[in-house]
Amino acid sequence: MVTDIVIGMAGSGGDGIVSAGDSLVSAAAREGFHAVMTKSFGPQIRGGESSCRVRLSTERLHNPGGALDVAVALNWDDFLKFGAELKVDGHTIVVYDSKTGIAPDKLPLVGVMPAEVFSVPLTDLTKSSAGTEKAKTSVVLGLLSGWIGLSREVLLAGLKRKFGKKGEELLAANERAFEAGFTYAAEHPMKKPLLMQQPLTKGMGKLLTDGNDITAAAALFSGCQFFGGYPITPSTEVMQLLGREIWKYGGAMVQAEDEIAGIGMTVGASFAGKKAMTATSGPGMDLKTEVLGLASIAELPLVLLNVMRGGPSTGLPTKPEQSDLFQACFSAHGDVLRPVLAPTCVADSFDVTVEAFNLAEHYQTPVIILSDQEIAQRKETVDPIDASKYTVLERRKPTESELQKYARFAPTETGISPISNPGMQGGAYLASGIEHNELGAPSASGAVHSRMNEKRFRKFATLHQRRDLVRVEGDPEAPLALIAWGSIAGVCREALGKAKAEGLPVKLLVPTLVYPFVEDVWREFLMSVKAGLVVEQSYQGQLYRMMRMFLDVPPGISSFARSGANPFQPVEVLARLKELSFSLQGRVSETQRRDA
């Protein structure tokens, strides 16, 4: 019995690979498994290659996993295009269509000898059972159900939901295809069975969603009533869900003519007193930068989600990368500070989005959420979230007496001034991108400018103290450290668990608030560190460089960074940790020798 399994499948656009993955995770979620599914496509809209990885476990999952346990190739050309994303190694069981004409001992996998190879007559099985070639993935589902022991009934019920509406004939064909696969698996058992251990509880009450959808739901939960945006991969699902739901809550979604108009409308809605949001990806961030500065100086709350993809420019629109950190923190002219938050998984996207709205409203500032393509578009089981545990903050409105002699940018002790909105009697003021005094009157005075800059930075004083927005996990005194943010934090969490299991003392720091640094927590964390890795999906290692800018970084800490679309595996992070541990021991014994 196994408790954790990673299945990777690839085929051509029309094969229904991703849809089969959906069926798997949906069935697994109902059965009570924890599941994560990532999809990866070629750049084509229709046709082209497509793939998905499904990871199932009886334990909570933090990432999509490493090398595949089961690899399914409908054809090898498409499969091989996902080299890094569908990694096959010596423990992988490979299943492929014998129609490809490739002999089981001649697989096009360079330098890899899989544990077992099944050349299955997928096309023939499909044709003979379903009477059409189009139900190939239903055969695959049957095979997997048989081999890994994922409930036949639940999978069949899933097929019914999926095909029931499309006519009885199609449904029956797919059911026959499924049974053909199931029977084939029973007749061809694996040498070393991969049967999943059944979870203790069934999946009632589990959520199944992705980062973009849960972010949109979190926005509605937070009271967001306006979204202005422009479609861009991989963030568009946020505006799609809000465009379906936001009206019910008295809000509006506008598909703007461009990215600039999208954030312009968002700033306008915020000025008018509503919680407002926009979402985009790298190229859209470039365009939104000017209006982002306007929101900072006019002290207007807004939430901007950037679902990162590979860059610069058009870059890799469908693949994840963490290379927009510098941009999120620093792309502005003038002196600006704005909070940057990053979720580490789908469930975390809910917390982070609620936090983003709270920070935006409380500090009257734009807040950037840096998600990435993996979290945004990966489907994941989420344990029920108790919404009553979350606080939702509103902006500080002026009191009656403050409205008697209203000063929009009043120099309060906290630097946070009461904010009115059109319609409020006595609260009229001029909001502006031009520097202004406490009353909002434009000013070019150096004295006013430095006073207002000081106010706009002072208001974040309490943000720098938010220790809860940086998570430290593992052994607090460990000399070995991992530092990671966003989706890569999930890889490091798993590496941390593996290290612990091997008796290697390691600790992990994951900033939810990536910028500004909550310096106290970082300083305390770094104090005991002799060696460590900052693991990042960017060529430059942007967080590592920012640490060097703002913190005293111990010399033993190095950057472990690589470009997007080249996923990190928990085992390779562990291997690096071991190397560091060995060299530390070496260093220690050398010191001891010298001392002796």
Partner 1 sequence: MTTLSPNVFKSELKPIWCPGCGDYGVVQALYRALSAIGRPPHEVAFISGIGCSSRIPGYSTAYGFNTVHGRALPVAQGVKMANPDLLVLVAGGDGDGFSIGGGHVPHAIRRNMDLTYLVMDNQVYGLTKGQLSPTSPRGLETVTSVYGSFEQPINPLLTVLSAGAGFVAQGTPADMPGLATLVEEAIRYPGFAFINVQSPCVTYGEDDQQLRAHKTRMKSLDSVGHDPSNFMQALEKSTQYGTELYTGVFYRNPNPPKSYDVLVRERQETLKPAAVPRERMLDMFLQK
Q: By CB under 8 A, what part of segment 412-451 binds partner 1?
A: 421-434, 441-442
What is the footprint of partner 1 within residues 29-48 (CB under 8 A)? Answer: 29-30
Q: Does 206 bind partner 1 (CB under 8 A)?
A: yes
Of 80, 113, 74, which is closest to residue 96 (Cα–Cα)?
A: 74
Closer residue to partner 1 in complex, CB, 102/252: 252
Closer residue to partner 1 in complex, CB, 13/223: 223
What is the footprint of partner 1 within residues 334-373 (CB under 8 A)? Answer: 350
Long-range contacts of 131-134 (CB under 8 A, 24+ apart): 131/173, 132/173, 134/16
**Residues 385 and 209: beta-carbon distance below 8 Å:** no
Query: What secondary structure letter does DSSP report for 277?
Result: E
**Residue choice 67, 80, 385, 472 for contact with partner 1 (CB under 8 A):** 385
Closer residue to partner 1 in complex, CB, 270/306: 270
For 24, 350, 568, the CA distances from 57, given in Å and listed in that order, are: 13, 22, 19
- The CB-of-119 to partner 1 minimum distance in angstroms stands at 35
**Options 22-30, 129-137, 409-417, 532-540: segment touching partner 1 (CB under 8 A):** 22-30
Interatomic CA distance for residues 550 and 495, integer angstroms: 27
CA 7-5-115 angle, to 5 degrees, is 75
Q: Does 225 bind partner 1 (CB under 8 A)?
A: yes
Q: Does 463 bind partner 1 (CB under 8 A)?
A: no
**How buried is 350 (Cβ within 10 angstroms: 0-12 exposed, 13-18 middle, 19+ buried)?**
buried
**Options 90-98, 133-141, 187-195, 222-230: segment touching partner 1 (CB under 8 A):** 222-230
Closer residue to partner 1 in complex, CB, 23/323: 23
- The CB-of-421 to partner 1 minimum distance in angstroms stands at 8
Interatomic CA distance for residues 383 and 15, integer angstroms: 31
Closer residue to partner 1 in complex, CB, 204/501: 204
Buried b (16+ CB within 10 A) or exposed e, 78-110: bbbbbeebbbbbeebbbbbbbbbebeeeebebe
Closer residue to partner 1 in complex, CB, 294/472: 294
Q: Does 23 bind partner 1 (CB under 8 A)?
A: no
What is the footprint of partner 1 within residues 248-277 (CB under 8 A)? Answer: 248-252, 254, 256-258, 260-262, 264-274, 276
Interatomic CA distance for residues 184 and 162, integer angstroms: 23
Closer residue to partner 1 in complex, CB, 267/535: 267
Residue with tokens 């909001």: 431
Beta bridge partners of 70: 7, 93
- The CB-of-443 to partner 1 minimum distance in angstroms stands at 11
**Residue choice 213, 324, 348, 355 for contact with partner 1 (CB under 8 A):** 213
**Residue choice 217, 337, 340, 529 for contact with partner 1 (CB under 8 A):** 217
- The CB-of-538 to partner 1 minimum distance in angstroms stands at 30
Q: Does 76 bind partner 1 (CB under 8 A)?
A: no
Residue with tokens 């409205």: 403
Closer residue to partner 1 in complex, CB, 312/422: 422
Of 527, 518, 578, 514, which is closest to residue 554 (Cα–Cα)?
A: 527
**Options 61-69, 289-297, 335-343, 567-575: segment touching partner 1 (CB under 8 A):** 289-297
